[in-house]
Structure 1
Amino acid sequence: MNTIKNNQDVPVFSLEHDPVMKGKLFSIKQFEGVRPHQSELLVPHRKDYYLFVFARRGGARFWADMASYETKDNTFYLMGPNQVIVKEEPKCMWGTALAFDKQFLALHDNDSLARLPIVRNEQNANELILSEADITFTEDMLAKILKEYSEPGEWQQRMITAYLMLLLTYLSRLYSEQYENFTPANDKSLLKKYQTAIEENFREIHQVSEYAALLYVSPGHLRDVIKAQSGKPAIAHIQERMVLEARRMLFHTEYSLKEIGFDLGFSDASYFSRFFKRETGVTPAEYRALTREMYQ
């Protein structure tokens, strides 16, 4: 598997400039044994949009963050913004992929899509197993969306949104069944606002009190509510997000420990190493060596 060298940035593909999907706010593509130009996808990269793929035939191998997947027949795969993704080889594809970005979700008719479990993906899942009935339903919905997408008209956007809502609601039920720890949360809850703030600021802000100030609540109230709604201390959410980013960079890049620590807001590499070991039980160097053994 390729990695990013320490003098390179991890490329970020927008939906409009993605070498495969090539959409604006929304795109759907069907692949029938084709090998699209994927040289850019064979190195670690991020997407700034949501990507959902129904694989009719498996056999291709890819990584989403630090997890590897050998795609299965008639299985649904999901990836969200900021994940580090890499394909291992440019194999032919059979299936359908749909993609949309945050601007699409912000459209008036689409705001309820953003609240669906499969879109929020709080469990960081990447794979849904489908039954025969699930496969039939998914194929039917994708065919309807593809038909509307290929026939522009006055009602195109509303029809796509209606079918997409039906498909993703159905798949959200499967998501909840397959990932039992999922607990629905009110989209307006303090927990959701806190998680959003962390996602936007985890490189610069590391203290619960600073997030409390951003959210206009007291630190004590924030700690109490987050513990009640998530079962974890508020500080754990910050630390877990920092560790996830550190793991991504250690696994997919050749950046030095100093460079990774600096990117995460640590002024000293030794402080970053102590933080990482405290949270994971191994040093950053040990983690990099151990995970690299997975594909060598």
Structure 2
Amino acid sequence: MPTLLLDQPVPVYSLTPQGTPGSGLFQLLRPEGQQPSFRSNMLLPHRKDYYHLVFVQRGGSRHWVDMTPYVLKENTFYFSGPGQLQVKEKLAPLWGVSLAFTREFLALQQNAALAQLPLLQNPRNGHELLLTPADVAFVEDTLARLEAEYHRPGQWQQPMLTAYLTVLLTYLSRLYTEQFPSTEPSADQLLVQKFRARIEEGFRERHEVGAYAALLHISAGHLSELVKAQSGKPAIAHIQERLVLEARRLLFHSEQSVKEIAFDLGFADASYFSRFFKRETGLTPAEYRSSSREMYP
């Protein structure tokens, strides 16, 4: 499993002109066994600042999203969101369709509703959708229509792209809710979701419940009670779990020192970070790095 060198930061890839990871706000590519030059960048741990969805028809190898490995299956849909740590193990021929779009694309008025779909919200942190033959037929047909519009510039291109993309993502979101079931959130659960979203935005700078309560315009005590009632865990536990997740990502995928990781996560004292990590995981950072790499060579 590839890792980053000691002084090598985790790169973040944006959508850029074709031949590299993408183009503009929205990109559609159809790999047919060829090796796009930009894919060599993916052999080291990296993040993308865009949504990436791939319908794999044939080919592929093992790839990682955070600390979870996926062996790409034929006629299966894979998806990831901005900021997740990813790596490919090797460049293997791939046949399928790749869709990529940015947060800015979703912020456009005609696309705003798409950002709320379960597939993009991804509350269950899933990355693989299994398709039946009927699903495959529907997905292939919709992607073909998307591709035709993508290569047909003109006045109606953007509305048509949005229309077909809405159909595709809505269909896949229905599959998502079937394969990763959950219940409709209550008002309190929605507030907890907002709390978690704020953690995602600021966990490096904000380690205290009070800081998030201020952002949500409620008291720290009320937020703590609400989060504990809805999730079964104290509010501080959610903050700490997010810090541990990011620490695990960096320990697993990079060669940054423990001190560098501690500072990256907003800890002024590396020794305090090490004690925090061991308290939460039962292992020191060094022990976790060693054991996880032995498990997934």
TM-score by length of 1: 0.94
Partner of 2:273: 272
Distance 2:200 2:17 in 1: 24
Distance 1:58 1:248 in 2: 27
**Over residues 117-136 of structure 1, what are the superposed CA-to-partner deviations in whole Å (9 max), with x where a residue is unaligned?**
11011111111111111111
Partner of 1:285: 286
Partner of 1:48: 49
5 Å matches for 1:74-89? 74-89=75-90
Deviation at 1:20, TM superposition (A): 4.2
Structure 1 residues 224 and 134: CA distance shift in structure 2, 3 A? same
Partner of 1:154: 155
Residue 148 of structure 2 aligns with an amino acid whose one-letter code is K
- Mapped contact 1:53–1:95 kept (Cα < 8 A): yes
The alignment status of 1:226 with 2:227, answered yes or no, reads yes
- Deviating more after overlay: 184-193 vs 199-208: 184-193
Residue 198 of structure 1 aligns with an amino acid whose one-letter code is I
Q: What secondary structure, in the 3-state scheme, does the structure 2 residue paired with 1:33 have?
A: coil
Partner of 1:249: 250
Structure 1 residues 74 and 168: CA distance shift in structure 2, 3 A? same
- Mapped contact 1:53–1:98 kept (Cα < 8 A): yes
Deviation at 1:7, TM superposition (A): 1.0
Distance 1:119 1:160 in 2: 17
Q: What secondary structure, in the 3-state scheme, does the structure 2 residue paired with 1:162 have?
A: helix
- Mapped contact 2:26–2:100 kept (Cα < 8 A): yes
Query: Gaps (5+ residues) in structure 1?
Result: none
Distance 2:83 2:24 in 1: 18
Residue 2 of structure 1 aligns with an amino acid whose one-letter code is P
Distance 2:101 2:183 in 1: 25
Deviation at 1:40, TM superposition (A): 1.1
- Mapped contact 1:58–1:70 kept (Cα < 8 A): no
Partner of 1:163: 164
Residue 45 of structure 2 aligns with an amino acid whose one-letter code is P
5 Å matches for 1:166-181? 166-180=167-181
Distance 2:225 2:122 in 1: 24
Structure 1 residues 17 and 224: CA distance shift in structure 2, 3 A? farther
Residue 155 of structure 1 aligns with an amino acid whose one-letter code is W
Deviation at 1:6, TM superposition (A): 2.0
Distance 1:111 1:270 in 2: 44
Partner of 1:132: 133
Distance 1:27 1:88 in 2: 24
CA-atom RMSD in angstroms: 1.8
Partner of 1:10: 10
Deviation at 1:226, TM superposition (A): 2.8
**Over residues 31-58 of structure 1, what are the superposed CA-to-partner deviations in whole Å (9 max), with x where a residue is unaligned?**
1111111221111110000000000013
- Deviating more after overlay: 42-51 vs 31-40: 31-40
**Over residues 6-47 of structure 1, what are the superposed CA-to-partner deviations in whole Å (9 max), with x where a residue is unaligned?**
211111001126854421111111111111112211111100
The alignment status of 1:214 with 2:218, answered yes or no, reads no
Deviation at 1:214, TM superposition (A): 1.8
Structure 1 residues 165 and 210: CA distance shift in structure 2, 3 A? same
Residue 210 of structure 1 aligns with an amino acid whose one-letter code is A
- Deviating more after overlay: 7-16 vs 270-279: 270-279
Deviation at 1:2, TM superposition (A): 2.1
Distance 1:8 1:17 in 2: 24
Partner of 1:30: 30
Query: Gaps (5+ residues) in structure 2?
Result: none
TM-score by length of 2: 0.94
Deviation at 1:68, TM superposition (A): 1.1
Structure 1 residues 156 and 227: CA distance shift in structure 2, 3 A? farther
**Over residues 125-184 of structure 1, what are the superposed CA-to-partner deviations in whole Å (9 max), with x where a residue is unaligned?**
11111111111111111111111111011121111111111111111111111123x344
5 Å matches for 1:186-225? 189-225=190-226
- Mapped contact 1:50–1:99 kept (Cα < 8 A): yes
The alignment status of 1:145 with 2:154, answered yes or no, reads no
Distance 2:131 2:152 in 1: 29
- Deviating more after overlay: 20-29 vs 255-264: 20-29
Q: Matched residues, percent identical?
A: 58
Distance 1:31 1:295 in 2: 28
**Over residues 183-240 of structure 1, what are the superposed CA-to-partner deviations in whole Å (9 max), with x where a residue is unaligned?**
4447993223222211111001111111111222111222233334444322222112
